[in-house]
Amino acid sequence: MVKTFGRGRRAHESYRRAAADFGTSYADWVRPMLTLEAVSTMAVGAPVVGLVGTAGAVWFAAEGWVTPVEALTGILVGLVVPTTITALGFGAANRRTAAAAALRIHDLLATPELPVSAAPRTPQGNRVEFDDVRFGYSDDAEVLRGVSLTCEPGTVTALVGPSGAGKSTLATLLPRFHDVTGGAVRIGGVDVREIDPAALHRHVGFVLQEVQLVHGTVADNVRLGRPSASGAEIEAACRAAHVHDRITALPQGYDTLDARLSGGEAQRVSIARALLADTPVLVLDEATAFADPESEAAIQDALSTLATGRTVLVVAHRLTTVTAADRIVVLDGGRVAESGAHPSLLAAGGRYARLWESQ
């Protein structure tokens, strides 16, 4: 970046200065502690204790206050004491680390679970409705401010808009990663909060931007979509997701443990997972930003295979990938700014047309 903008010299100089300043302030900060630590470590060191002990013992024995045997015993005991103190000190440090770890585990376990309805209801169909949805990650900053939209079964709805508009946030409300703070999200006419979580996950599949592969083989990772799936079914899903060839090129193929896959490949594994899960509603957070062009084309192909015949909500970060969507919804500042099909939105000359121009 520095080179591109032709500011090489000046940028390097300010980097050098920042690094030197940091070095100085860090040294000023640790010096008093280091001095204290060095002095105290030296004071309890065996040579110092041995020397002081011997001098004392000689003096006490010369004065006749102790016998030489008692003096020698004193020196030996004196040598053991510092080691014990040091060991206790290390023990205390370990105890503090353990206590801090226990606290973090406690905090994690104390995270409230999403409440589960006592009388779950079954969705009737696969229409998805966002009804005046409000949501904020914290009380003081609302990310979604009354979003209403409907996704009809068998159609693809694309969410577009500037970065930070709330697109991904809206999408994650559907698999109930968070609960709305106002309004409702419904599938087949039933509020997602009233659907049994297991049933919800059989209904809503997702391919998210940050793909998480779990510890295990590639096959295990795909099988998460449907634990009962056979090897042939897993392979079929991977072929459809355009990742089969990459997997068979791995040292142990589908049985490779913790395979090193690129972002685009991991994304296709998660598409295979979603294909296998075969849910009627799908949330796709398009993450082609880090993929190479070849991988991106493969991802797009895999996504279109996945979208057929389902209720699909796509978060699109680039408009070119969603021009064919049945409906494009432009989010801005947590609200729906515009919606419609690509040609009519372009013709309207509004926010979408400006986004299209800029991209």
In the complex, the smallest distance separating the C-beta of residue 359 from ligand ADP, rounded to whole angstroms, is 15
**For residue 44, what are the contacts with CB-CB under 8 A and spacing of at least 6?**
82, 85, 86
For ligand ADP, the closer CB: 161 or 183: 161
Contact 165, 240 (CB under 8 A): no
CB-nearer residue toward ligand ADP: 168 or 295: 168
Task: State in angstroms the smallest separation of the CB of 331 from ligand ADP.
Answer: 6
Our finding on whether 157 is near ligand ADP (CB under 6 A) is no
Near ligand ADP by CB under 6 A, which window of 20-28, 104-112, 156-164, 192-200? 156-164
Residue 158: CB minimum distance to ligand ADP, A: 12
Task: Work out how close the CB of 354 gets to ligand ADP at its nearest, in angstroms, rounded to a whole number.
Answer: 16
* Tokens representing residue 167 in the block: 């697109």
Contact string (CB under 6 A) for ligand ADP, positions 82-121, x = contact: ----------------------------------------
Token digits of residue 109: 């376990």
> Do the beta carbons of residue 241 and residue 269 sit within 8 Å?
yes
Query: What is the helix (H) or strand (E) element at residue 19, kind and residue range?
Result: helix 8-43
* Minimum distance of ligand ADP from residue 283's CB (angstroms): 12
Interacting positions 161-190 with ligand ADP (CB under 6 A): 161, 163-169
Asked if 316 contacts 160 with a C-beta cutoff of 8 angstroms, the reply is: yes
Buried/exposed code over 302-325 (b: 16+ C-beta within 10 A; e: otherwise)? bbeebbeebbbbbbbbebebbeeb
Interacting residues with ligand ADP between 115 and 144 (CB under 6 A): 137, 143
Helix (H), strand (E), coil (C) string for 165-182: CCHHHHHHHCCCCCCCCE
Distance CA 266, CA 213 (A): 7
Kindly state the smallest distance separating residue 168's Cβ from ligand ADP, in Å: 3
Give 143 or 241: the residue with its C-beta nearer to ligand ADP. Answer: 143
Tokens at 239, concatenated: 């072929």
Helices (H) and strands (E) in the chain, counts: 12, 10
Applying CB under 6 A, the span of 103-111, 159-167, 217-225, 239-247 interacting with ligand ADP comes to: 159-167
Total residues in contact with ligand ADP, by rule CB under 6 A: 10
Q: What is the CA radius of gyration of the chain?
A: 32
The conformation of residue 214, written as its DSSP 8-state character, comes to P
**Residues in touch with ligand ADP (CB under 6 A):** 137, 143, 161, 163-169
